[in-house]
Every structure is written in structure tokens, then in C-alpha cells.
Amino acid sequence: MKKICFVALAALVLSACNSEPKFKVEGEVSGADGKMLYLEAAALEGIVPLDSVKLKGDGSFSFKQTRPVSPEFYRLRVDDKVINFSVDSTETIGLKAPYTDFATAYTVEGSANSTKIKELTLKQVQLQNEVNELVKKMQAHQIGADVFEEKLAALMKDYKDEVKTKYIFAAPNTAAAYFALFQKLNNYLIFDPLNSKDDIKCFAAVATSLNNYYPHADRSKNLYNIVIKGMKNTRTPQQKVLELPEEVISETGIIDISLRDMKGNTHKLSDLKGKVVLLDFTIYQSAASAPHNFLLNDLYTKYKDQGLVIYQVSLDADEHFWKTTADNLPWISVRDANGIYSNVAAMYNVKEVPSLFLINRNSELSARGETIKDLDAAVKALL
């Protein structure tokens, strides 16, 4: 009798566990016979494995998982190919994809947000390809630095304007809007939540909507914290008259800069007299930083033995990110803790980043980026 009761109780518990609401993702992956297909959660703390299956000839698969308490993100992965999708509740999502173009040529049914995520993914892939082509042309000297910077800025602006309008502000309460905020170019966020006032507005719109619908969700709290930090970083300081102490202006007339590198060593711009200096103001956490640094690296490699020095000033709000990113750079990298409200940047009339200046061997300001038509030729002329 006791044995029968125990079996009955176990069956009841198992039944209760199986009755938890679940979502389902099913479909086919063609041309992937023998490949492992993984279902993973794209959680705040990172990628979490959930389930897997070895695909057979027809490529069919079916996964079930407990529904999330608020919209969450998941992905299917074969080798290093990934499909991102979102789940709101207990929906059944259908995904079909060829193995070859798994990450881009798939179809999705049963989830409007996942359809939007696919659209965003394809747009991001196109943007990355266009930027890669620009870098190749610049490295092959088919276009000059001015054309490279102008085209890169235009590509970024057009992309962000479209995504803001169609995906973020149009429906800030959706998983697709959240996904758009964290897209990357060259592994850097396209929308910068710490250094750009305009981008922080996008994060704030989504944070407000998520907080209204899911105030207790971890993603809502995390996004809210990001917005608060970004607003703090970009808050306009109290107005004060900018006074230039006489010692700030060197004998030669340049505005001197004295900042520390990641090891705590102080580097003064005026100490580089006798060298040709490319002074660069940048934000490493910007998506434009990597291609811009490719440009600088080409110049530095070509002319460093002839006397070219790069003095790069980071205006990043995140000190740790700056240290990590700048660690392997071959030139001088310092950081101004005042970020986008840097007095030094203001003295040089920096209105956007990246922004560069050329200083000749006599420590005299020779040119600023927007007036330079051919950066390579301009550097060579000063050497």
C-alpha cells in the first residue's frame, strides 16, 4: 500500500512539472546531416546552453522549454552560425534554414518580434559589409582619409536614423526594439549608451516601456541602470568661464595636453617637439573607432620610423573599456576622465569624434581633420 502511494505521488509530481507552460521552436535545417544543432539562451549573464540534437537527413528538429516570465532572447546555433529570435510567452516558432547561409537565409513564423530581429540582422550584416569595403579601399589607397571618414559617418548616420525610426521609437515596448539597441559593428555597440546623448534617448525609450510592462524583469532593471549611468556621464556641467592658464599654452603656441596613460604615466603633448604629431580625440566604445584606428595604424606603420607620433586622447566614459581596448595600441593613448565634457577637447574645438589634428616638428598646429583632403600626403609633407 505504501509502495503504491509513493508511485502515485511521484507520478503526480512529474505531471505537475510537465504542466509548466512552455514555448516550442521547431523546423528544419537542410544540408546539415550529422551536424549538432544547439538551442541556447542569450541571457544577460551570457550564453546559456539549453538543449541540443543531432540532425538527421531531413534536418527536422523540435525543442520545448519553460516559457520566460518576460520577453527573452534565444538562439539556434550550428557550428559558429547563429540565428537569434525572441520568445514572449508560450508561442510556437517555426524556423527553416539552409546550413550554408544559416544565419541570414532562414525563414521564421509565429513571432512578429523574431521577424523584426531577422530584418535587423540583415541590415547589420549589410552595414558591416559596406564598412569592410570602405576599410579595404582605404587600405589599398583607393580613397583618401577624408572620403573614408565622410562615408563612414554617413553610413552610421543613415543606419541609426532608420533603426531609430522604424524599430526603436516605433515600438519601444518590443523585444525587437531592445535587440536593436545592442547591435554591434566591429564588435562595438552601434548605439552608444554611455557617451551619446541621442543614443541614450533610444535606450531611455525602451527602458521606460519595459519598466511599464515588466518592472520586475532583470532586463528592465539592467536597461534602467544603463540609462542612469549614461545620463550621469553626459549631464551638462554647470557653466563656468573657461580660463586658460598661461602654462597651458606652450612657447610654440599649441595648447598643451598633460594626461596619463593606462599605466599611470603622464604624457605631455609639448614634450613631443621635434616630432610630427597626429593628435586624435576618440571614443573607443564607438563603432567608428575600429575602422578609424585601422586608418591610423596604416599611417603609423608607414611613417613611425620617419618621426610620426600619434597622441590619442580617449573621451570614453568607461575607464575599464578604454584600458582593455587601448592595451595593444602601439602609440600614446591617454584618457580624459571628463569625457565628452573635456576642457582640452573644448579648447581644440572638438565637435565630434573621432577628430584629428596635425602638429609639425616645431609644435605648431598645422591642420585639423576636416581641412585635410589627403591625410597620407599631409603627414608626408610635414615629415
CATH architecture of residue range(s) 20-109 = Sandwich (2.60)
The more confident residue out of 125 and 196 is 125
Stretch among 122-126, 172-176, 181-185, 337-341 having the lowest mean pLDDT: 337-341
Residue 289 CA from chain centroid, whole number: 10
Count CA atoms closer than 13 A to 140's CA, side-chain side. Answer: 7
Assess whether the previous peptide bond of 49 is cis (omega < 30° from 0): no
Average pLDDT over residues 13-28: 76
Parts of the chain belonging to CATH 3.40.30.10: 253-379
d(CA 231, CA 225): 10
Asked if CATH classification 3.40.30.10 holds for the domain at 253-379, the reply, yes or no, is yes
Q: What integer pLDDT is reported at residue 81 of this predicted model?
A: 97
Contacts 24+ apart (CB under 8 A), 299-304: 299/375, 299/376, 299/379, 300/330, 300/331, 302/376, 303/276, 303/379, 303/380, 303/383, 304/330
Is 268 within 8 Å of 256 (Cβ atoms)? yes
How many percent of the chain have pLDDT more than 70?
91
pTM of the shown model = 0.79
Residue 60 CA from chain centroid, whole number: 34
pLDDT, tens digit (0-9, with 9 covering 90-100), for 299-311: 999 999 999 999 9
Grid cell 509502495 is found at 3
Parts of the chain belonging to CATH 2.60.40.1120: 20-109
Contacts 24+ apart (CB under 8 A), 44-51: 44/218, 44/219, 44/222, 47/75, 50/74
Q: What integer pLDDT is reported at residue 227 of this predicted model?
A: 92
